Amino acid sequence: MEDSTSGTRIPKACLTCAKAKVRCEPEVGGVDGICKRCHRLNKPCGFQTPGAHRRKTAPSLQSSEVSALEAKLDRMVALLAASDRSKDLSNASLSPGPAPSAPCSEDMHVPSEQEGQRFISIFINKMLPLFPFVPIPSQMTADQLRREKPFLYRNIVMVASQDAQRHRQSAQSIMQHVAEHIVLRGEHNIDLLQGLLVHIAWYITISRLPRPSLDASSENDFGAKPFRKISSQLDVLLHLATAQLSSLNLNQSVASLRNLNRPLSYMKAVDLHPNQIPERTLEERRAYLGCYYVSVILSLCVREVDTPRFSRYTDECCEALQEALEYPTDAFLVHLVKIMRLGQKIHYTVSANEMTYPVTLDPFLGMTIKSYQAELQELRSAYAPDHPGSEMILYRVALGINPASACADLPVTQLDLLFNLLEANKTFFLNFYSIPSSLLPILPFTVYCQFGVSMMTLSRLILYEGERVGWDPDYTRRTVDFDSTADVILQKLDEARAFLSSDVAERPEIFHRLVTRMQVMKDLHRKRLEAQAKANLEAPQEPLDFSFIFNLPTDAFFPYGDYATASALPEAPNYY
């Protein structure tokens, strides 16, 4: 009912019935207008205030739309203002996303077209043959690569440059890009995957921190400063690259994806049926094999990481590349992957624990080693260049064999294994010496990891006391001298300084780092020799355990901390 004068709706139900949401009927002939329900239940019955049923009016649709448009306009104005500011700092942008807040970013140091082309030429001619998993077509220009694959381009510019200042600025900007686009936004594409692979491959040779200034307070006695591990950023980058593989489903064959009972998430997003999944491109296969290769290298030479096992799909990728040979480096790529496959097999079946537990040389171990020797010979005959990395992994087991465990009629003897290990070590250093000095500052971390393992293995061979099995440590010193080997590397590094471009403002940190590491290694080896000689002259005692220094990860020899002298070495047992 509505009031004719004011237009206000007058409620019919009493307060009690309205609250109970029941029908309110007036009592016919009753007193004081009490309704039937209130009279029956003996409840108070009162009238509602006129207008009580009026609903609160929501803001009009037009006003809310106007507010949303005004807010959107404000955001667009802010973005345009930010874009104008970034254009003042840089003439071009290498990748999408907001400009980094840090004052020194890659966008502030975009190379010119001519300079970018020079960096790509360095990468193709000098760096790609050592890590052939991200080839660039020779006819591709710098501008074309920058537009098609901006993240890969930025990483190539960083690793091909020999200026430490550019290294630091580029690394900071690239890591900001990784954090925003991969970690926060969850983006995944082949450009990000290839850029991560390039970044990982030359992680060691990139200057990331300012060169430390050491004072007298840092000069302490040997072992006084505790060993400080470097950042695990390399592991993080490797995990991100593996995650890119998984997100792009490049770690599985197309046949296995088509056999899935349910479509993958990315198939739903693009409305793609499993049967419509395209075949793998050679570029995608190389990226997958590159992740496999660096994972195995890191696991065998530095520390244990989650490493994908060699599968039928891995073999399928190798066969596809070997058949196509799209680039001249594809044959070497397949050879590297097969070598790492064999090294992985050897590690898990023969030498996984040789650094920690004594190994028993029995007929089974002897036959296993002979089998792997045959595989190594087959790989060597299939591809000319020697690659003794897997040989050292295979023969390194000799250093952990308990001499008392040898028995008669074995396929191999401990002396044979020690001799083969020395020859493999010697071959590695001869190959390393053959690398032009100009390439030393831009070698990938995969080469330096194997170099560190070879140096530690050589030191163990020289220190190994194997008179019981007929091993002569003096023969080892005459074959490959430790100090002379380190001095050759230092000489080649000194020669490499002459090949630096004249416009380089600051030499890469690798020059300072390698010199420091070589001196650290020489001091360590000398102290071990002195301790061993002193122990042999004194009364018989328990054999000295030198394994702690050889079990150190390669990070101990190529860190990014303030290690300048042997005073920064890890704390050692007081043997002397």
Q: What is the pLDDT of residues 265-304, one digit of tens each?
A: 555 444 556 566 778 899 999 999 999 999 888 887 766 6
Confidence of residue 2 (pLDDT cuts 50, 70, 90): very low
* Paired strand residues for 432: none
Query: Mean of the pLDDT values across residues 171-191?
Result: 91
Percent of the residues in the chain that have a pLDDT greater than 90, as a whole number: 20
What is the per-residue pLDDT across 214-265, written as a single tens digit (0 to 9) for each?
A: 343 433 333 333 333 444 678 888 889 999 998 888 888 877 777 765 555 5
Residue 20 has pLDDT above 60, yes or no: yes
Mean pLDDT score of the chain, rounded to an integer?
74
What is the per-residue pLDDT across 389-428, written as a single tens digit (0 to 9) for each?
A: 667 777 877 777 766 665 556 667 888 888 888 988 888 8
Instruction: Quickly count: other Cβ atoms within 10 Å of residue 349's Cβ.
Output: 14
Which residues touch 501 (CB under 8 Å, ≥6 apart)? 162
More confident site: 382 or 223: 382
Query: Mean of the pLDDT values across residues 326-347?
Result: 88
97 phi-psi bin (left φ>0, alpha ψ -120 to 50, beta other): left
Q: What is the pLDDT of residue 569?
A: 39
If we measure between CA atoms, which residue out of 169, 308, 338, 150 comes closest to residue 239? 308
Query: Mean of the pLDDT values across residues 381-396?
Result: 67
Confidence of residue 307 (pLDDT cuts 50, 70, 90): low
Residue 549 has pLDDT above 80, yes or no: no
Residues in the chain: 576
What is the per-residue pLDDT across 116-148, written as a single tens digit (0 to 9) for each?
A: 999 999 999 999 999 999 999 988 999 999 999
Confidence of residue 95 (pLDDT cuts 50, 70, 90): very low
Q: What is the pLDDT of residue 286?
A: 95
Measure Cα distances from 119 to 108, 157, 163, 192, 372 in Å: 17, 6, 12, 19, 41
Residue 373 has pLDDT above 80, yes or no: yes
As separate numbers, helices (DSSP H) first and strands (DSSP E) second, the chain gives 22, 0
Confidence of residue 556 (pLDDT cuts 50, 70, 90): very low
If we measure between CA atoms, which residue out of 566, 345, 4, 464 comes closest to residue 557? 566
- In the chain, the largest separation of any two C-alpha atoms, in whole Å, equals 129
Q: What is the pLDDT of residue 321?
A: 95
Q: What is the pLDDT of residue 149?
A: 94
Q: Is residue 312 a contact partner of residue 253, using CB atoms and an 8 Å limit?
A: yes
Burial of 149 (0-12, 13-18, 19+ CB in 10 A): buried
Burial of 383 (0-12, 13-18, 19+ CB in 10 A): middle
Confidence of residue 151 (pLDDT cuts 50, 70, 90): very high
CA 455, 456, 457, 460 torsion-angle sign = positive
Specify the amino acid at residue 358: P
Residue 558 has pLDDT above 60, yes or no: no
Measure Cα distances from 472 to 92, 428, 464 in Å: 64, 21, 9
* Paired strand residues for 26: 35
Of the listed ranges 40-49, 300-309, 320-329, 499-508, the one predicted with least confidence:
300-309
Q: What is the pLDDT of residue 123?
A: 94
Residue 106 has pLDDT above 60, yes or no: no
Residue 514 has pLDDT above 50, yes or no: yes
DSSP secondary structure string for all residues of 126-181: IIGGGSTTS---TT--HHHHHHH-HHHHHHHHHHH---HHHHHHHHHHHHHHIIII
Q: What is the pLDDT of residue 136?
A: 93
